[in-house]
Chains A and B, each alone.
Chain A
Amino acid sequence: MSATGIGAAVRRKEDFRFVTGSGQYTDDVVRPGETRAVFVRSPHAHAKIKSIDVGAARKMPGVVDVLTGAQLATDKIGNLICGWMIHSKDGSPMKMAPHPALAAAKVNCVGDAVAVVIAETYEQGRDAAEKVKVDYDVLTAVVDPAKAQAPGAPQIHADIANNTIYQWHLGDAKATAAAFAAAAHVTKLDIVNNRLVPNAMEPRAALAEYDVGTDNLTLWNTSQNPHVARLVIAAFVGMAPEHKLRVIAPDVGGGFGSKIFIYPEEVVCLWAARKVRRPVKWTCDRSEAFLTDCHGRDHVTHAELALDAQGKILALRAKTIANLGAYMSTFSSSVPTYLYATLLSGQYDIPSIYCEVDAVYTNTAPVDAYRGAGRPEATFVVERLVEVAARQMKIEPADLRKRNFIKTFPHQTPVIMAYDAGDYHASLKKALEIADVKGFAKRKRDAVRHGKLRGLGFSTYIEACGIAPSQAVGSLGAGVGLWESAEVRVNPTGSVEVLTGCHAHGQGHETTFAQLVSERLGIPFENISIVHGDTDKVQFGMGTYGSRSAAVGMSAIVKALDKVEAKAKKVAAHLLEAAEGDIEFKDGKFTVAGTDKQAAWGDVALNAYIAHKFTGQELEPGLKETSFYDPTNFTFPAGCHICEVEVDIDTGKTDIVNWTAVDDFGTIINPMIVEGQVHGGIAQGIGQALLEGAVYDKSGQLVTGSMMDYTMPRAHDLPSFHVGMTETKSPSNPLGVKGCGEAGAIAAPAAVINAITDAIGTEDLAMPATANAVWSALKRATPRQAA
């Protein structure tokens, strides 16, 4: 392993500009004559718009224009769409309600934009926005997914009965029912997977510019996938032809999924920029972000696990209601279906699984993918069921897991997925050692003496990453392919630029992708640049989400590097006057087998461009290759997290005293970055379990609308994590990588809740397990019999 190659803990190249404040985020981009957009948003969760009067606002100082949804319709700007078709059990397609970028007739959640002020300055825009008079006819709202389908519930969208988007299912209902009928033990749980607000550090932003001379539109925005944004805005919204629209996603300060989607504000900025013939910028403030960023999770589930008398799992079934909010966001439909139910087999050999999912509209912010997207929800269902079943059957939770682990690969689950590789015993064994589970009983006894209840919770999770084989996802309803692209450009001096269709918003691609190139070409790490995020520079790409950039994006780079190496060998053959088949390439040098003739990488690169050693008939000049890589399977990162907690009996406050994470991510490119991803993921998972929860009141007002009420995890809420690795390489991609970006957020919530419920002796505890919630659960509890 070289100092900057695969497996080296290289410091992140990009951090210098981030930590010195010299990054360039969308809001940092300033265009001549720039104006500011300020949105007028609905204060009501559900209301008809009777009238909008923009007269007074137009007269305010600094106002350039005030635009409404009616004008948007007149200009034939199309609706936002959801790009993944889900069919109900009865074969009918999902019911996608119109989602205009500015509401014209009706608002369906607090924060729905009804007008936009374009002004010289932000403050002038704010002043004018207050003068827009909107007359609403307020309607009754519904916010609780469990109540959205009830007879008499307010109907949010015309022609969509019971607010039901689809009633989907997966698996074999009959076989599952038969297994339950024959089971010796059945564990049942009612689970609420709490709604989360993503809260990336950089709020969303958009800057649109129209060039009158060329009729081109440019959009700078906070996107995880600028090409997909361009495609949707061109082909579906109909803003401009694809080739007349450039989308640039410069430095982006975190996404966690929330910046995958196409939002109303960027559409409005583009439209307005062309109307007012000046650049239009919008930068979200934190209060707007709470209301309008797509939220995550929000499932209500009844789940059951059937086991035989020896603790062998026979079947699992789940019935979930998923809240998709007021409108269907870009990929919302896929999250509670193909990203959720397909993972309900966990790490276990389960013969039968049946899952039903109803997706519903409510008068809340749209819900879409958020770190883990469906897989945290699935893991929470599986790992809570298994833990509770073990307690009920008086089997050690680790033992019950061992009895049911999948041991041979490939393994076909009853819910689509074919796991390609893994060793679940290995990660459990290592985690048990690191967590000193043997010493837990003594620690528990000691804690009681200090008024504390200790608990231990496991989460042996699995996820499907590296999304995904295009044909497979196409057959499941995806509107796009999920391959990735790369172009490797070798310059005449031998330095290299890699243009990737991935997008980095915190992941460290500029470092890890360069490590791959440094390893393969044997050239210095600093001679490699990674270019991403600009549709005018980079070939079409699918972007970054779902822990896909290593498994899919780097695989594309590998394929392009293969082509570069093959071409370079041809150049070297001419340069060294040898047969192409005799050229060997290693450590940045080309040699001729059996001789001492050699050429350095830089000589070959230069000769590829000066083209003095070969004719155009023999070889094309230049050294630049492209690859579009379509994966053959998902990858399946998996591992074991063990959480140890102490609960203060008097206050109910939980302290996480020990955290062990043993993960199998396949080949590790940069262990430091992987560890950072694991830490961040666990922090978000602990946040969900202990602290975070978006709460709407009955009228649809977001009660947790700021950092004063929505509890983000802080450093002092978290312990030092003990992180370990095991490794089984993924056979489904050339590097053997699996992906690590979401694992912590997927594994952690179940581990925390399993630990707290172990401590307090009752399963009756919902997330977030605040001190008040734990104290109340303790009060309600009848202590479990000591084993």
Chain B
Amino acid sequence: MYNFTFHRPTTVRQAAGLLARNPEAKLLAGGHSLIPVMKQRLAQPSALIDLSLVEGLTGVEQKGRSIVIGAMTRHADAAISPVLQQALPGLAAVPAAVGDPQVRNRGTIGGSVANNDPNADYPAAVLGLGATIITNKRRIAADDFFTGMFSTALEDGEIIVKISFPIAKKAAYEKFKHPASGFALVGVFVSKRGADIRVAVTGAGSNGVFRVKSFEEALKKRFAAKSLEGMTIPATGMNSDIHASAEYRAHLVGVLARRALAKATA
């Protein structure tokens, strides 16, 4: 690890100020993606701005017809939140499925969404529920937020404060774990909120999380696994590596979508 300066602001405004003054700085949330690459000397931030002491960034609340999760809420806390389990259990299953206990006890929703790892779990839920990402500057719709692998609509100096998820009547996440890393080899989030039907896929696409429009169309007739019987997506654009071929990943998208639907409609 290279040397860096370490800052611990207590307000979002302070954090934003530090970010503005240190162009080579990185925000530190859970650190489970950033610290390993720093230890391998693959990242060399001049400063780390630790968000763990910033007030008001943690917690799960219900606000009207939405669930709002603070950016620094750890996966382990979100997974057992009674509010979330009551109002949107399909979303509670997402942090519960992340990595391993160590990752779940450190990793945060804001860090995961801002990093937009193409195999991360939360992006599927954010896109699959049509959530809104609330930053220190603006509100960004999920459909506009994820712009490609490790790439988001966040601008320089922008910090995610919280994420607001509309409460869908039916929602579920189905994940096929990468056997080594615990990330999603493929993960599919499905939801139905009135006429808004979403099928979002993580892990599979070479450009990060994406929606499967053909599945969503088919589900408009009936939101059930049966509606996707025999349906597949093309292997083009899927990731391919030693763990799974593009063809296999495309196949899993269909299998997991049907399983998620079975769960959501059970």
- Chain A residues with a Cβ under 8 A of chain B: 123, 126-127, 130, 287, 650-653, 691, 695, 703-704, 707-712, 717, 770-772, 775-776
CB A649 to nearest CB in B, in angstroms, measures 10
Answer whether A709 and B252 are a contact pair too, CB < 8 Å, given A704-B242, A770-B243, A772-B244. no
The CA-CA distance from A334 to B126 in the complex, in Å, is: 56
Is there an interface contact between B181 and A691, defined as CB atoms closer than 8 Å? Answer: no
Is there an interface contact between A707 and B251, defined as CB atoms closer than 8 Å? Answer: no
Note all chain A residues with C-beta closer than 8 A to B180: 691, 707-712
B1-55 at interface with A (beta carbon < 8 Å): 1-2, 40-41
Q: Which residue of B lies closest to A126 (CB)?
A: B41
Between A and B, 7 residue pairs with Cβ closer than 8 Å are A127-B2, A704-B242, A708-B181, A771-B179, A772-B245, A775-B248, A776-B248
Note all chain B residues with C-beta closer than 8 A to A708: 180-181
Note all chain B residues with C-beta closer than 8 A to A703: 242
Answer whether A695 and B242 are a contact pair too, CB < 8 Å, given A651-B252, A651-B255, A772-B248. yes
Is there an interface contact between A709 and B181, defined as CB atoms closer than 8 Å? Answer: yes
Q: Which residue of B lies closest to A708 (CB)?
A: B181
Is there an interface contact between A123 and B179, defined as CB atoms closer than 8 Å? Answer: no
Note all chain B residues with C-beta closer than 8 A to A651: 176, 252, 255
CB B261 to nearest CB in A, in angstroms, measures 14
The CA-CA distance from A568 to B6 in the complex, in Å, is: 68
Note all chain A residues with C-beta closer than 8 A to B248: 652, 772, 775-776
The CA-CA distance from A461 to B26 in the complex, in Å, is: 55
Is there an interface contact between B251 and A775, defined as CB atoms closer than 8 Å? Answer: yes
The CA-CA distance from A471 to B1 in the complex, in Å, is: 52
B227-250 at interface with A (beta carbon < 8 Å): 242-245, 248
CB A773 to nearest CB in B, in angstroms, measures 9
The CA-CA distance from A189 to B176 in the complex, in Å, is: 32
Is there an interface contact between A770 and B179, defined as CB atoms closer than 8 Å? Answer: yes
The CA-CA distance from A771 to B251 in the complex, in Å, is: 12
**Which secondary structure dominates where chain A touches chain B?**
loop
Note all chain B residues with C-beta closer than 8 A to A712: 180
Is there an interface contact between A772 and B243, defined as CB atoms closer than 8 Å? Answer: yes
Is there an interface contact between B255 and A650, defined as CB atoms closer than 8 Å? Answer: yes
Q: Which residue of B lies closest to A652 (CB)?
A: B248
CB A218 to nearest CB in B, in angstroms, measures 31
The CA-CA distance from A730 to B256 in the complex, in Å, is: 53
The CA-CA distance from A704 to B40 in the complex, in Å, is: 16
Number of interface residues of B (CB under 8 A): 16
The CA-CA distance from A770 to B249 in the complex, in Å, is: 13
- Chain B residues with a Cβ under 8 A of chain A: 1-2, 40-41, 176, 179-181, 242-245, 248, 251-252, 255
Contact of A711 among B40, B179, B255 (CB under 8 A): B179
Beyond contacts A691-B179, A707-B180, A775-B248: 10 other A-B pairs, Cβ-Cβ < 8 A, are A287-B40, A650-B255, A691-B180, A708-B181, A711-B180, A712-B180, A717-B179, A770-B243, A772-B243, A772-B248
Q: Which residue of A lies closest to B249 (CB)?
A: A772
- Please give me the 8 A-B residue pairs with the lowest Cβ-Cβ distance, nearest first: A711-B180, A708-B181, A711-B179, A650-B255, A772-B248, A772-B244, A695-B242, A709-B180
Note all chain A residues with C-beta closer than 8 A to B41: 126, 130
CB A577 to nearest CB in B, in angstroms, measures 69
CB B186 to nearest CB in A, in angstroms, measures 10
Note all chain B residues with C-beta closer than 8 A to A717: 179
The CA-CA distance from A776 to B2 in the complex, in Å, is: 44
Residue of B180, B244, B255 with most partner-chain A CB within 10 A? B180
Note all chain B residues with C-beta closer than 8 A to A126: 41
Note all chain A residues with C-beta closer than 8 A to B252: 651
Note all chain B residues with C-beta closer than 8 A to A770: 179, 243
The CA-CA distance from A703 to B241 in the complex, in Å, is: 10
The CA-CA distance from A770 to B255 in the complex, in Å, is: 17
The CA-CA distance from A130 to B180 in the complex, in Å, is: 30
Note all chain A residues with C-beta closer than 8 A to B176: 651, 653, 771
The CA-CA distance from A703 to B242 in the complex, in Å, is: 8
The CA-CA distance from A132 to B179 in the complex, in Å, is: 37
CB B234 to nearest CB in A, in angstroms, measures 17
Note all chain B residues with C-beta closer than 8 A to A287: 40
Note all chain A residues with C-beta closer than 8 A to B242: 695, 703-704, 709
Note all chain B residues with C-beta closer than 8 A to A652: 248
Note all chain A residues with C-beta closer than 8 A to B1: 123
Q: Which residue of A lies closest to B255 (CB)?
A: A650
The CA-CA distance from A770 to B177 in the complex, in Å, is: 12
Note all chain A residues with C-beta closer than 8 A to B243: 709, 770, 772
The CA-CA distance from A611 to B176 in the complex, in Å, is: 74
The CA-CA distance from A776 to B251 in the complex, in Å, is: 11
CB B121 to nearest CB in A, in angstroms, measures 16
The CA-CA distance from A707 to B99 in the complex, in Å, is: 13
The CA-CA distance from A29 to B73 in the complex, in Å, is: 40
CB B101 to nearest CB in A, in angstroms, measures 12
CB B209 to nearest CB in A, in angstroms, measures 19
Note all chain A residues with C-beta closer than 8 A to B251: 775
The CA-CA distance from A123 to B41 in the complex, in Å, is: 11
Q: Which residue of A lies closest to B247 (CB)?
A: A776
CB B81 to nearest CB in A, in angstroms, measures 24
Q: Which residue of B lies closest to A707 (CB)?
A: B180
The CA-CA distance from A707 to B182 in the complex, in Å, is: 10
Note all chain B residues with C-beta closer than 8 A to A711: 179-180
Note all chain B residues with C-beta closer than 8 A to A123: 1
Note all chain A residues with C-beta closer than 8 A to B181: 707-709
Q: Which residue of A lies closest to B41 (CB)?
A: A126
The CA-CA distance from A534 to B29 in the complex, in Å, is: 47
Note all chain B residues with C-beta closer than 8 A to A709: 180-181, 242-243
Q: Which residue of A lies closest to B256 (CB)?
A: A651
The CA-CA distance from A711 to B182 in the complex, in Å, is: 10
CB B169 to nearest CB in A, in angstroms, measures 27
Residue of B2, B40, B176, B243 with most partner-chain A CB within 10 A? B243
The CA-CA distance from A761 to B213 in the complex, in Å, is: 36
CB B262 to nearest CB in A, in angstroms, measures 12
The CA-CA distance from A140 to B245 in the complex, in Å, is: 27
The CA-CA distance from A283 to B224 in the complex, in Å, is: 56
The CA-CA distance from A711 to B1 in the complex, in Å, is: 25
The CA-CA distance from A776 to B180 in the complex, in Å, is: 20
Q: Which residue of B lies closest to A653 (CB)?
A: B176
Q: Which residue of B lies closest to A695 (CB)?
A: B242
Q: Which residue of B lies closest to A713 (CB)?
A: B179
